[in-house]
Amino acid sequence: MMQNIRTAARWVLPAALALCAAPAAAQSLRGSPASIDRMYNHARSADLTFYRTGTGVRGAAREGDLVRMSGNDDYRLSGVSYPYALSSTRTFVQRLGAQYREVCGEKLVITSGVRPTSLRLSNSTDRSVHPTGMAIDIRKPTGGRCLAWLRETLLHLEAQGVIEATEERRPPHFHVAVYPAPYRRYVSNAGGGSSSSAQSRSASRGSSSSSSRPSRTTYRVRSGDSLWEIARRHDTTVDRLRDANDMRSNRIVAGQVLIIPTR
């Protein structure tokens, strides 16, 4: 588990996923027992931990097995009891959020992250993958164009085999499970050649192609650290650190794993 996350922290790339116009013929956003099974079986085979309590979630966050979703210019959280997820899932939220805001001019709204089994909702299945931090819920946009874009994008990613998404009615939301290893590979491959807005935005902030090189070092934040201090110690700058980690503020928390950009 820890090893997975450390590896995971290395590939978080600022590049946005390339939107694909190809139709996703066999895919559907309708939930089904088969869809629930796919998510559950993936979580089991990836050996993910199903957190049972809030204490377990907070412990995992301290260890860096789960990361905090803090919101940024592109997405916000609403009514989320535990704002944590697997780092691959947070990367998904950041990338989707950046594209969503570009298309819709509003923030993506996340309504659930990790949900310990002790918090299971009455209408949710005992095979839910929310307790692993793999899944998030996204509020369904009211605008037709944004809704259409979100459906199309989720179907596209599902067709790539990197997520499993369902459109739920009560309350209206998309449930998305992000498959850690396949999504990491997808993000690495999407790194080059994309003309998407999020990528050009980070390019204009001064990040170079070197910040998306796959081999990186990481640093686990200790209490009392400041971003400026970490940058100085690693012979880099606050701006470069923020770019490499998709950060919109200088706020860091103990236990958070930062990618240290290399030249």
- Interacting residues toward Zn ion by CB under 5 A: 137, 175
Minimum CB separation from Zn ion for residue 166, in Å? 8
Taking a C-beta distance cutoff of 8 angstroms, is the pair 137, 114 a contact?
no
Q: 137 vs 243, which CB is nearer to Zn ion?
A: 137
Taking a C-beta distance cutoff of 8 angstroms, is the pair 183, 92 a contact?
yes
Q: 31 vs 182, which CB is nearer to Zn ion?
A: 31
- Give me the half-sphere count of Cα atoms (radius 13 Å) on the Cβ side of residue 40: 10
Give the separation between CA 81 and CA 59, rounded to whole angstroms: 15
- Give me the half-sphere count of Cα atoms (radius 13 Å) on the Cβ side of residue 261: 23
β-pair partners for 178? 163
Q: 175 vs 216, which CB is nearer to Zn ion?
A: 175
Minimum CB separation from Zn ion for residue 35, in Å? 12
Structure tokens at 190: 């999407």
Minimum CB separation from Zn ion for residue 89, in Å? 12
Minimum CB separation from Zn ion for residue 247, in Å? 26
The Cα-based distances of 96 to 14, 93, 106, 126, 238 in angstroms read 12, 5, 12, 28, 24
First to last CA, the chain: 29
Nearest to 247 by CA among 210, 189, 205, 216: 205
Residue with the closest Cβ to Zn ion?
175
Minimum CB separation from Zn ion for residue 140, in Å? 12
Q: 132 vs 153, which CB is nearer to Zn ion?
A: 132
